[in-house]
Structure 1
């Protein structure tokens, strides 16, 4: 072979190697990125052309894929979309996926590793690939009751089964219809999304777990009470409860709600201080205990944790190295205390479950298209923030709050309800937030609940947790009790 031919052969060989390398790089290394590129229309057709599994509540599909005559083959359909939007999220050709549609996407799409043998069986039989069904822990009756009771108020309701951690209800208001973002028309989806974004009240925000965190107000006194009981206080231990409490190293003076006196002699038991929500008593108690003790107890209940239920939960926050005056304010749920409604429901659940806090979760079971069980959630202990004795003592103190204290509007005839109200100042000119946390029945709880109404909602006149939030909680608890009784 002469020299020119040899050189030409080398050039051709190099070109073939370059071509093969480029093809291999595109088909193997870059395949994932190319498949996920939103500009790849074939990926969208392939994804939407597969039957996506349903999302199920109480045995009924609240989200499913419906066959349609279009290149996408299936249309995601949402029954009672606004009711379940905070949990299901949306599935959009433009904006992707959120909430359960996102966290359980591989199962719903049928691509999860746990569905390998199902896919293999489909391939062998020639059947079309189908996604798995995701069954939620929600109770339809409790979810509906929570949404109806919250109404048009801006806020959230979270209900848990204290014995397991199952999320029984998660409602946020205002809400939206996921169907608005599930259309196959990108122009229509974009227009609907921009309209939702333009609304000042933020319907796309899940206030229950992932919106702004809120000052918990007097509901935080449950944490201080738990810390006090662990430190050796008892329900009848006397606290200093002045009409006004000068704050250390400060010219500020802390008063009680409405300027009221907590007692005639400036002394009050721990139980009575919680019952009427005495600010000065708890502020002074917090300074006596010290912030380190309170902070440790709050963290045992979940403050600062990156929770996944499997939806991501915004961590609740505490002040960093507060001085004594700041400790006093933080002890009544103000200053830099911040919490999600889920966090406050966890506080109630931990007390209700004899001091054992269970990890909250939303997905109960997963089944393939033939209804074979793929995944089955098991309750897991999150922490043990209280002894059984202390939890029982605090439960009785919370019963007193409902029976003759600040939460009488949460009373249910024939049922002992344990609760705590909160009226949280926002630090602005806006009206305070109204809170209620509690559980029932006190002796055998089936539900733990947190209710938040931002800025008092649509209430005219005085805004308190007892007046605004407690009646909402009562309606939700009644639905849970009715469900347990069999309807």
Structure 2
């Protein structure tokens, strides 16, 4: 009898060892394959089993979570969805995440271990943190002013604070409501198909993900390069600039939109946006110096993130003299996002210094305690401070007495530069209307905002399209909103 008991005990021990070995094999060695198996819905169910953290603008949420009572319990909601879509992106149970919803997903979903004071304990208990919140740098009034100013036309606005790089407005139109993609029913699939098939591309973030020929707004960069290189020593000295200007090595003659540009000084040529003067200046500055200045402003940077990625703005480094002439007036292969051109304007307003733009001020736990703050941003010198001071003068005169008078604000100093960019085969496309600017209240020590506006479908009549007429009023509204907000906070 004892022998049978011994055999049974030994057999039970073998079974226990086998169970232990199998459990170890599954939970340790094969855990990754089970986790990654598409049929495993535990992660998905857990992900949507609690409310998602919120994205905040001005301390108030522009997102939320709705309890559906279904297996994937919580569904994302959006307040003023089209207004903030170029910032929030979408969080979809079917199609994943985009923009801030994507780049800050670990915080918003509660997966970031920094959300817990005891992350190792969470790993042991397999418990999940509540979703954290993401506070943005946006100014509500500026965002609304930009959106209202575009009024549904194709275009974009980017506004930043020159001294810090804080993004104050980021708008792209036409827009869409991210809530249409939140759930997992058949309507979500139809919305996805409709939005992606729309010829106007409402899901394209034109402010940071589309590049345009910047046209005459790029003359700010060319003027900076000419002054820094010593090609121009006196902005009031007449230049040797024929009108029309024959592009080097070609029979092509470059003309101007207005008369009287021949041999104008840099000051007057900037005020009236003379192509011939700036094309020849670019050739005199040369490819190397033009490239160095453009790159100091941020062109050709492949690594810019705010925190989601930004399309690369480009200045062609392998051009002949004729191509360089066109590149120097923002045509040929020169391309820029509206955010990049806001950075150019901000550098002028900030003594020649470029602050890397950013969109997230801080992240917090559900209880409100801070997880991470933005901290100091990288800084680089785009031009000499004396050059920036001179360009501030030139941009101010554009608004007081040139092509940008529609951007003037009572009680503030405003600098600007208009642009009308040709594009399409043989320049057959409707020109883009551009305006870049900065504004400083007379009571402030520094500029509070720099703006770039591009309008794709400005007017039905090509001859009436202009940066000063179509884009400058939008920039003015955004700058006024920021100055009013800044005045209310500071006084």
TM-score normalised per structure 1 = 0.90
Deviations 1:276-310 (A, max 9, x none): 00110001111111121111100001011121100
Work out the CA distance in 2 between the residues paired with 1:449 and 1:354: 16
Instruction: Give the 3 Å change call, closer, same or farther, for CA 20–45 of structure 1 in structure 2.
Output: closer
Bigger Cα displacement from structure 2, 314-323 vs 195-204: 314-323
- The offset of 1:32, in angstroms, is 4.3
- 5 Å-filtered alignment, 1:428-439, equals 428=425, 429-439=428-438
Query: Contact 2:207–2:337 (CA<8 Å) still a contact in 1?
Result: yes
Work out the CA distance in 2 between the residues paired with 1:126 and 1:404: 66
- The offset of 1:24, in angstroms, is 5.0
- The offset of 1:426, in angstroms, is 0.3
The partner residue of 1:30 within 25, 30, 33 is 33
Instruction: Specify every segment of 5 or more residues in structure 2 that has no aligned partner in the other structure, as ranges.
Output: 1-14
Work out the CA distance in 1 between the residues paired with 2:369 and 2:391: 44
Q: Which residue of 2 aligns with 1:451?
A: 453
Q: Which residue of 1 aligns with 2:415?
A: 418
Deviations 1:334-368 (A, max 9, x none): 11101100100010111111111101000001110
Q: Which residue of 1 aligns with 2:275?
A: 279
Instruction: Give the 3 Å change call, closer, same or farther, for CA 184–447 of structure 1 in structure 2.
Output: same
Q: Which residue of 1 aligns with 2:484?
A: 482
Paired residue secondary structure (1:159): strand
Work out the CA distance in 2 between the residues paired with 1:203 and 1:231: 42
Paired residue secondary structure (2:259): coil
- The offset of 1:439, in angstroms, is 0.2
Paired residue secondary structure (2:66): strand
Residue 471 in structure 1 maps to residue 473 in structure 2: yes
Instruction: Give the 3 Å change call, closer, same or farther, for CA 24–240 of structure 1 in structure 2.
Output: same
The CA RMSD measured in Å over matched residues stands at 2.6
- The offset of 1:240, in angstroms, is 2.2
Deviations 1:143-165 (A, max 9, x none): 00110011111010000011110
Work out the CA distance in 1 between the residues paired with 2:461 and 2:187: 36
Instruction: Give the 3 Å change call, closer, same or farther, for CA 307–128 of structure 1 in structure 2.
Output: closer
Q: Which residue of 1 aligns with 2:67?
A: 67
- 5 Å-filtered alignment, 1:38-53, equals 39-53=39-53
Query: Contact 1:262–1:273 (CA<8 Å) still a contact in 2?
Result: no
Instruction: Give the 3 Å change call, closer, same or farther, for CA 67–119 of structure 1 in structure 2.
Output: farther
Paired residue secondary structure (1:170): strand
Query: Contact 1:143–1:170 (CA<8 Å) still a contact in 2?
Result: yes
- The offset of 1:126, in angstroms, is 12
Deviations 1:254-279 (A, max 9, x none): 0001xx3234xx32211111110011
Work out the CA distance in 2 between the residues paired with 1:484 and 1:466: 25
The partner residue of 2:217 within 205, 216, 219 is 219
Q: Which residue of 2 aligns with 1:238?
A: 238
Work out the CA distance in 2 between the residues paired with 1:138 and 1:121: 36
- The offset of 1:472, in angstroms, is 0.9
Query: Contact 2:110–2:128 (CA<8 Å) still a contact in 1?
Result: no
The partner residue of 2:386 within 384, 389, 405 is 389
Work out the CA distance in 2 between the residues paired with 1:225 and 1:138: 31
- 5 Å-filtered alignment, 1:77-476, equals 77-117=77-117, 129-185=129-185, 187-211=186-210, 213-232=211-230, 233=232, 234-257=234-257, 260-263=258-261, 266-305=262-301, 306-428=303-425, 429-441=428-440, 444-456=446-458, 462-476=464-478
- 5 Å-filtered alignment, 1:5-16, equals none
Instruction: Give the 3 Å change call, closer, same or farther, for CA 277–331 of structure 1 in structure 2.
Output: same
- The offset of 1:72, in angstroms, is 2.2
Work out the CA distance in 2 between the residues paired with 1:19 and 1:121: 25
Work out the CA distance in 2 between the residues paired with 1:380 and 1:203: 31
Work out the CA distance in 2 between the residues paired with 1:16 and 1:135: 49
Bigger Cα displacement from structure 2, 448-457 vs 342-351: 448-457
TM-score normalised per structure 2 = 0.89
- The offset of 1:23, in angstroms, is 2.6
Bigger Cα displacement from structure 2, 158-167 vs 319-328: 319-328
